[in-house]
């Protein structure tokens, strides 16, 4: 039996409640083999599109006098509840279908960040839907949001993405795993909070879920960190005629490829850095980056990029 933290990327979730529920059912089917093999599994997930949508909706309602204003950290917490609910229900249904008795529970997770983190000065994390330049300019003027052009696909709002330093609910997550429960935790990288003289306080930001997943996996002394995304492998010369898949990647090789700029900042780079943070100095640990549909093959060693010290 292994202790495994699985981080789910955007392609496992979707962009509307109906699409998300449908995709999450498929996600549950892909995860079931790992769970029923007797592993201790903790699932984390992204929230970029969802937290942006919730924030925009709450802003709209507040500006039209329909509700009180909802701060961004509260929107982050809502995204954890919304995605956790879909994952929890789909996993419960799939376990029931497989006649496996197991509790599934989502923990609203706060993650401490450093208020002096330079990320607060430079928003980089895309949230919400895509806009045309005209729409982005209009929303930016109305609400003061920052927008950037995102890989030729349109404009997206960006928010600060500070590094995670401590998982507040860690002891509860450990207790649930020891109890045998399937735990969904650290959703959306965790709700970012800072420590103040009067206690924890939410801050407007989105933590990278791969970095929080690596911190969680490290804190749990997990055997494996599995990052599931839209590609079967990490590649060098990605999307070029000389593209080559990486099946086995040591920390030293990965660092060399990072220097060469092989991994795109904002997409593959944080995943690689998260894996390195988890495995460096720990020969007993392994990280895998692969696709959701390729999970079973990756566990059998037939697919995916394995990262080790």
Interface with ligand ADP (CB under 6 A):
9-11, 46, 229-231, 234-235, 238, 262-264, 267-268
47 is catalytic: no
Q: Is 186 helix (H, G, I), strand (E, B) or coil?
A: coil
Shortest CB 271 distance to ligand CP, Å: 10
Q: Judged by CB, which is closer to ligand ADP: 208, or 218?
A: 208
**Interacting residues toward ligand CP by CB under 6 A:** 9-10, 46-48, 188-189, 206, 208-209
Residue 231 near residue 9 (C-beta atoms within 8 A): no
Catalytic option among 14, 125, 187, 189 = 125
Contacts 24+ apart (CB under 8 A), 99-104: 100/35, 100/36, 102/35, 102/180, 102/181, 102/182, 103/179, 103/180, 103/181, 103/182, 104/181, 104/182, 104/184
Beta bridge mates, 166: 112
271 is catalytic: yes
Residue 294: contacted member of ligand CP, ligand ADP, none (CB under 5 to 8 Å, by partner type) = none
Q: Judged by CB, which is closer to ligand ADP: 20, or 229?
A: 229
Catalytic option among 3, 11, 102, 154 = 11
125 is catalytic: yes
Q: How far is residue 222's CA from residue 275's CA, in Å, rounded to a whole number? A: 12
Shortest CB 46 distance to ligand CP, Å: 2
Shortest CB 228 distance to ligand ADP, Å: 7
Residue 203 near residue 192 (C-beta atoms within 8 A): yes
Catalytic option among 10, 33, 57, 266 = 10
Catalytic option among 52, 187, 224, 271 = 271
Q: How far is residue 251's CA from residue 255's CA, in Å, rounded to a whole number? A: 6
Q: Judged by CB, which is closer to ligand CP: 192, or 294?
A: 192
11 is catalytic: yes
Shortest CB 154 distance to ligand ADP, Å: 15
Q: Judged by CB, which is closer to ligand ADP: 4, or 231?
A: 231
Beta bridge mates, 156: 148
Alpha helices in the chain (DSSP H): 17-36, 48-63, 72-97, 133-143, 170-178, 209-219, 251-259, 268-279, 295-299
């Amino acid at each position: 039996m292994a202790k495994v933290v699985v981080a789910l990327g955007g392609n496992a979730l979707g962009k509307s409640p109906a699409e998300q529920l449908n995709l999450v059912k498929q996600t549950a089917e892909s995860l079931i083999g790992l769970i029923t093999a007797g592993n201790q599994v903790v699932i984390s997930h992204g929230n970029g599109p969802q937290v942006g949508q919730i924030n925009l909706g709450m802003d709209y309602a507040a500006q039209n006098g329909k509700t009180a204003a909802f701060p961004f950290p509260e929107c982050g917490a809502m995204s954890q509840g919304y995605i956790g609910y879909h994952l929890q229900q789909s996993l419960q249904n799939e376990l029931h279908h497989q006649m496996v008795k197991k509790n599934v529970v989502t923990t609203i997770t706060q993650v401490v960040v450093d208020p002096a983190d330079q990320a607060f000065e430079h928003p980089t994390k895309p949230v919400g839907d895509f806009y045309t330049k005209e729409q982005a300019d209009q929303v930016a003027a109305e609400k003061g949001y920052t927008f950037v052009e995102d890989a030729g696909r349109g404009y997206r709002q960006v928010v600060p993405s500070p590094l995670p330093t401590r998982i507040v609910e860690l002891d509860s997550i450990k207790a649930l795993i020891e109890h045998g429960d399937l735990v969904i935790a650290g959703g959306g990288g965790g709700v970012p909070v800072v420590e103040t003289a009067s206690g924890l306080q939410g801050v407007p930001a989105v933590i990278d879920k791969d970095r929080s997943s690596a911190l969680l996996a490290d804190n749990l002394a997990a055997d494996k960190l599995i990052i599931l995304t839209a590609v079967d492998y990490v590649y060098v010369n990605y999307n070029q005629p000389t593209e080559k898949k990486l099946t086995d990647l040591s920390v030293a090789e990965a660092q060399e490829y990072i220097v060469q700029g092989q991994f795109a900042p904002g997409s593959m780079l944080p995943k690689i850095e998260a894996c390195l943070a988890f495995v460096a100095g720990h020969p007993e640990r392994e990280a895998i980056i692969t696709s959701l549909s390729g999970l079973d093959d990756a566990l059998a060693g037939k697919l995916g990029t394995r990262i080790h010290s």
